[in-house]
Structure 1
Amino acid sequence: MSTEGRGRTAGPDGAGPGVDDAIRAMLLLMPRVVGRAKRIPVPEELRSLALAPRHLSLLSCLLFDGPMTVNDLAARLEVAPTTVSLMVGELSRKGVLERREDESDRRRRVVSIAADRHRPISDWLAPGAAAWRRALAPLTPDQRRMFVGTLRAYESALAEERGA
């Protein structure tokens, strides 16, 4: 993957790094970001639960947005409701989540973080949300949209490169 002699010029608008320079910067930055995230210690109360990355996304949604239905969670996580239902069932059996009737529609169930698990989950995940807030708050809505869109495009392209 030689890019020798490329990418030293500014982008097409004359401002900012060329594509190859931006790639170099991201190749240095991404492992540090992932490494830093992996070093966030799991609270003692949660260590025995064998939480996977898919659980962290679900817990982050509930922590950030509060209780919601399985269908709402599925929409936020961009997965099928059956996938969320399986995760909710698993985490409910472990005492991490609670399901209760929706007061406005008794046919629906609302999912929330169990009261005794809320503090350790918040202590664990809230700093990540706070860091994203600090990083994204100074940007304009269009810049935030572009940043999130770029990360989505990268994730999609990486999946294509890996054949996943």
Structure 2
Amino acid sequence: MEEGLNEKSGDVTEPTAAGMTRLDSQLVIGLHRVVQDLDRRTASIARAHGLTVSQFAVLEALLNKGPLPMGELREAVLSSEGTIPVVVRHLQGRGLVERRRDDLDARRSIVSLTSSGCELAEQVCPDNARELERSLAAWSPEERSEVVRLVRAYRRGNR
């Protein structure tokens, strides 16, 4: 079994010297390792297409959701307020996205894919999806459903 996810003798629910139970520690470490692994795989795919992970995330969000106001785009890619304008500016410079003022609210910018951006997103997104599907195949569909259920329960309990 992977280090940090082993079952040592003794009660896994007893607090460790650090104050966290071994079970909780194994859970946190295990979840962190899964996310790191998936992030590394996505970063590799993005790099192969000349993108950063943030740039890939923006292209993917726009491909899936269509044109978005800058704030909604930031939320869709889980980015900070300061980061997303920089990422969009770089993508604009490469001719992959365009920004225009919102017709209904001139304070807002709407970001959309250009035809070049759409073409690139339609290449990189399926590549990434295939890689993630291969990775997640370590779990059966039932196990993946259970993980989704547990993540939703965690999020509901920690709002």
TM-score class normalised by the smaller sequence: 0.5 to 0.7
Higher relative contact order (CA 8 A, sep 6+): 2
The 5-angstrom pairing of residues 20-99 of structure 1 reads: 33-34=38-39, 36-40=41-45, 46-47=49-50, 51-76=51-76, 77-80=78-81, 82-99=82-99
Output the TM-score relative to the length of structure 1. 0.54
With over 3 angstroms needed to count, the CA separation of the structure-2 counterparts of 1:74 and 1:28, relative to structure 1, is: closer
- Name the counterpart of 1:159: none
With over 3 angstroms needed to count, the CA separation of the structure-2 counterparts of 1:100 and 1:141, relative to structure 1, is: same
With over 3 angstroms needed to count, the CA separation of the structure-2 counterparts of 1:140 and 1:35, relative to structure 1, is: closer
CA deviation digits over 1:78-120, x for unaligned, max 9?
Answer: 421x432222122101111112343x41613311111122122
Counterpart AA for 2:104: D
Alpha-carbon RMSD? 4.3
- In the TM superposition, what is the alpha-carbon distance from 1:128 to its structure 2 partner? 3.8
User: Unaligned 5+ residue runs, structure 2?
Assistant: 14-22
Of 5, 8, 15, the match for 2:9: 5
**Percent identity for Structure 1 against Structure 2:** 18
- In the TM superposition, what is the alpha-carbon distance from 1:124 to its structure 2 partner? 0.9
How many aligned residue pairs are there? 134
- In the TM superposition, what is the alpha-carbon distance from 1:140 to its structure 2 partner? 9.0
> Is the 1:8–1:20 contact (alpha carbons within 8 Å) kept by the matching residues of 2?
no
Aligned equivalents of 1:127 and 1:30: distance in 2? 18
> Is the 1:7–1:21 contact (alpha carbons within 8 Å) kept by the matching residues of 2?
no
